[in-house]
Structure 1
Amino acid sequence: MVGAFFTLILCLMRVLFSYSLAALLLFGSCSQAQSEKSPHEPKGSSGKKHKKESLENRFTEAAVPGLKRLGQLEGVQESSGLALGQPGTYYTMGDQGNPPILYQVDGDGKLLKEVRLSATNEDWESITHSPDGTLFVADAGNNNNSRRDLTIYRVNPAQPDAVGQIHFTYPDQQEFPPKKKQRNFDCEASVWHDGQIYLFTRDRGSKAISKVYTVPDKSGTYTARRVASLSIPDEVTDASISPNGRQLVLMGSEQMFVLKGASLSSLLKAKPRRIALPGAGQTEGVLFTDDQTLLISSEQGSLYQYKMP
Structure 2
Amino acid sequence: MRAFLVVPALAAVLLSSCSEAQTNQPGNSALTAPTDQTVPNQKKGKKGKKDKASDIANLTKVGKMREVPESSGLALTGENGTFYTHGDDGNPPILYKINTQGEVLSRIEIPAKSHDWESISRDQVGNVYIGDVGNNNNNRKNLVLLRLNPLNPQIVQEIHLKYPDQSEFPPGKKDRNFDCEATLWHDGQVYLFTKDRGRSATSKVYTVPDQPGNYTAKLLTKLAIPGQVTDAALSPDGRRLVLLGREEMFVFEGENLAAMLKAQPRQISLKGAGQTEGAVFTTDQTLYISTEQGSLYEYQFE
TM-score normalized by the length of structure 2: 0.84
Q: How far 1:71 sits from its partner (Å)?
A: 1.1
In 2, Cα distance between equivalents of 1:48 and 1:263: 51
Structure 2 partner of 1:206: 199
Distance 2:56 2:265 in 1: 18
Superposed, 1:22-33 pairs within 5 Å as none
Counterpart Cα distance in 2 of 1:217 and 1:205: 29
Candidates 44, 50, 71, aligned match of 2:63: 71
State the partner residue of 2:264. 271
**2:241 counterpart of 1:248:** yes
Aligned pairs for 1:4-23 (under 5 A) are none
Match of 2:74 in 1: 82
Give the structure 2 partner of residue 168 of structure 1: 161
Q: Does 1:222 align with 2:215?
A: yes
Aligned AA (1:264) = L
Determine the C-alpha separation between the residues in 1 that align with 2:157 and 2:263.
34
Structure 2 stretches of 5 or more lacking a match?
A: 1-44
User: Shift in Å at residue 241 of structure 1?
Assistant: 0.5
Say which of 63, 88, 97 aligns to 1:95: 88
Tell me which of 288, 294, 305 is aligned to 2:298. Answer: 305
Look up the match of 2:182: 189
2:281 to 280, 288, 304: 288
Q: For 1:98 and 1:189, locate their aligned partners in 2 and report how far apart those are by CA, in whole Å.
A: 18
Listed as ranges, the matches of 1:105-144 within 5 Å are 105-144=98-137
How far the C-alpha of 1:87 sits from its partner, in A, is 2.1
Structure with higher helix content: 1
Deviation readout 1:38-86 (Å, 9 max, x if unpaired): xxxxxxxxx969x32xx22xx312x211110001013111110000012
Distance 1:95 1:165 in 2: 19
Q: Deviations for 1:73-110, whole angstroms, at most 9, x for unmatched residues?
A: 13111110000012221000011110000000001101
Q: Structure 1 regions of 5+ residues with no counterpart? A: 1-46
Q: Report the equivalent of 2:8.
A: none
Q: Which amino acid aligns with 1:82?
A: L
Taking structure 1 as the reference length, what is the TM-score of the superposition?
A: 0.82
Greater than 4 Å deviation, 4+ residue runs: none
CA distance in 1, matches of 2:151, 2:248: 34
For residue 140 of structure 2, what is the aligned residue in structure 1? Answer: 147
2:69 partner amino acid = Q
What's 1:25 paired with?
none
Let me know the Cα RMSD of the aligned residues. 1.1
How big is each residue's C-alpha offset from its partner over 1:216-251, in whole Å with a ceiling of 9 and x where there is no partner?
001111000000110100000000000000000000
Residue aligned with 1:181, SS: helix
Alignment deviations for residues 275-300 of structure 1 (CA, whole Å, 9 cap, x no partner): 00111000000111110010000000
Give, in whole Å, the separation in 2 of the partners of 1:257 and 1:88: 25
SS in structure 1 of the partner of residue 282 of structure 2: strand
Q: Distance in 2 between matches of 1:74 and 1:155?
A: 26
Aligned to 1:290, the other structure's residue is in SS state coil
